[in-house]
A and B are shown apart, each in its own frame.
Chain A
Amino acid sequence: MHNPPDINYPRIIRAGDRAVTVEFSSTIDEVSNRQVLALDTCLSTNPPAGMLETVPTYRSLTVIYDPQVVRGAAMATELGHRAALQASSDTGGRLFEFPILYGGEHAADLDDLARMKDLSVEDIIRLHLEAEYRVYMIGFSPGFAYLGGLPEILHTPRLAVPRQRIEAGAIGIGGQQSSISSLPGPSGWRFIGRTPAKLFDVRRDLPFLLKAGDRIRFRRISEDEANDLDRRVARGDIIVREIAA
């Protein structure tokens, strides 16, 4: 009943009677996330009978199946074969440029962060802006993007007491991760800015802007430009640019 302490990866775990999870690692790292997405691509290209949907996360892929069509034991075997065959790299997602307004009312933690790191606010912004981020997974709420690639110096523990409401578009830091909020909601992460872009808008033909494996660079914008972009987003424009790698 209990899993043995020594674990070999990839590891196949039954998660109830309608899901099987393939774990590639015990850590958050780009290699295992690439394995997750490579397996996901393999499954969507050639779906096993009975597979209903998949949920890629940092270092594991969960497959939800219909036990009336395929039994979990058979699905686990199939996933084991496919996971063993995976090359450790996916095709390396799309690269997007996101406008970001640092500071202001949606950046309640920017000053604190600078104090904690003994850096100037401009240093924090420069460090955040220089990095390229990778979307490790979408989860928690529709379109919410968990990003990897945050420079180590900006890693910061979450707040002890979460805030009740963080607005959509807020750019957060939680531990070694960064995030872009998709909907208003509570959060214990630290926030340094916002993007006018909407990660999730059900009125659009493509409701979700990002998917796991995509990459992001931020472009700093002024308050005026942010306001202008807000108006365009309200009209339904997609203001995020896909750029050549």
Chain B
Amino acid sequence: MSNTLKILRHGPLMTIQDGGRYGFRAFGVSTSGAIDRASHAIANALVGNDREAATIEFALAGGVIEADEDVVIAVTGGACRIEIDGQSAPPWESHILLKGQKLEIGALRGAVWGYLAISGGISTAPVLGSRSTHLRTGLGGLDGRNLIAGDMLTLGATAALELRTLGLPWFRRPGAIRVVPGPQDNYFDRETWTTFTSAPFTVTTSRDRMAMVLDGPSLTAAKGHDIISDATVVGSIQVPGSGKPIVLSADGQTTGGYPKIATVASVDLARLAQLPSGQQFRFRAISADAAEDLFIDEKRRLDTVLESVCQPGAKRYWT
């Protein structure tokens, strides 16, 4: 008998996501997976799951769910009003959701992507090694689509109904979004490059799991807006003829024909994706080596935070 989670009310975009689908980009298959990997991993750690286990990712606001067995749940990603049968239940820590209780997840504040982890993890059938949903191609998740009211999701077994909390806080640093120039920065003249790295940009509402369209000064490629299609990565900043940059996200296509002025440093991918639409930010160029250093440091910081997960009331590192 496996546990089942039922969606009673759905938010604007809810999908099943795990650590991602690897090894198939050469066949045109996007990596997918949680857009904010750290928040996803922390949600899992709080309910005793493997850090890559499948969670429900929601955009802007969650919904209402219930389970047919007692489970442990945690919501991360941003600040958010959460209630269990009307009782307030803060994000970034775990809660017990008893059989039949209703978990209501409200709107995220100051963030765009939220994560609901449930003990045991969501155990829908993996596709090409991953449970992540890729909406455009209908791969993974639940029939490759977004979750809607009435959906039933099978869960893995809950090992123990234990509450957990973070012993160390997880925070996103403010500041410019760091980018590595290229691979086609040579398609743009010096003046355009200076504009790119100094003018304010915003993420528009044209955003989804595939890409974010930015608004800001128009960027013209001196050498034209067509390249021979080559590989893209998560974080590639493409500049089409419209002059409005497009940042590829977790579900972004694997190849593209627009020049890529820069690539978002991995350390700042989630921070950019979590920026509310309309909020201004700037880009700052750093070297690929420096971006790697930052990524490695960030991974260590995340490992430390994941290791700090402990039972409530246990001695905290910072006290």
Chain A residues packing against B (C-beta within 8 Å):
1-3, 5, 13-19, 21, 23, 26-28, 52-60, 62, 64, 67-68, 71-73, 137-144, 146, 182-183, 185, 200, 202, 207-208, 211-212
Chain B residues packing against A (C-beta within 8 Å):
22-29, 127-128, 136-139, 180-183, 185-186, 190, 193, 228-231, 233, 235-236, 253-255, 260, 263-266, 285, 288-289, 291-292, 294-296, 299
> Which among B26, B263, B296 has the highest number of chain A CB atoms within 10 Å?
B26
Neighbouring B residues of A207 by C-beta, 8 Å: 27, 128
B291 & A2 in contact (Cβ 8 Å cutoff): no
B27 & A15 in contact (Cβ 8 Å cutoff): no
Report if A17-B291 is in contact (Cβ < 8 Å); known contacts: A27-B228, A140-B28: yes
Q: How far is the CA of A53 from the CA of B31 in the complex (A)?
A: 11
Report if A138-B27 is in contact (Cβ < 8 Å); known contacts: A2-B186, A21-B183: yes
Q: List 11 A-B contacts (CB under 8 A).
A: A2-B193, A15-B183, A27-B228, A28-B228, A55-B25, A73-B288, A137-B255, A141-B137, A142-B29, A142-B137, A142-B139
Report if A3-B185 is in contact (Cβ < 8 Å); known contacts: A142-B27, A183-B137, A202-B128: yes
B183 & A14 in contact (Cβ 8 Å cutoff): yes
Neighbouring A residues of B185 by C-beta, 8 Å: 1-3
Neighbouring A residues of B127 by C-beta, 8 Å: 202
B266 & A16 in contact (Cβ 8 Å cutoff): yes
> Closest Cβ of chain B: how far from A41's Cβ, in Å?
12
> Closest Cβ of chain A: how far from B209's Cβ, in Å?
15
Neighbouring B residues of A138 by C-beta, 8 Å: 26-28
Q: How far is the CA of A59 from the CA of B183 in the complex (A)?
A: 14
A55 & B255 in contact (Cβ 8 Å cutoff): yes
A72 & B288 in contact (Cβ 8 Å cutoff): yes
Q: Name B24's contact: one of A21, A56, A67, A142 (CB within 8 Å).
A: A142
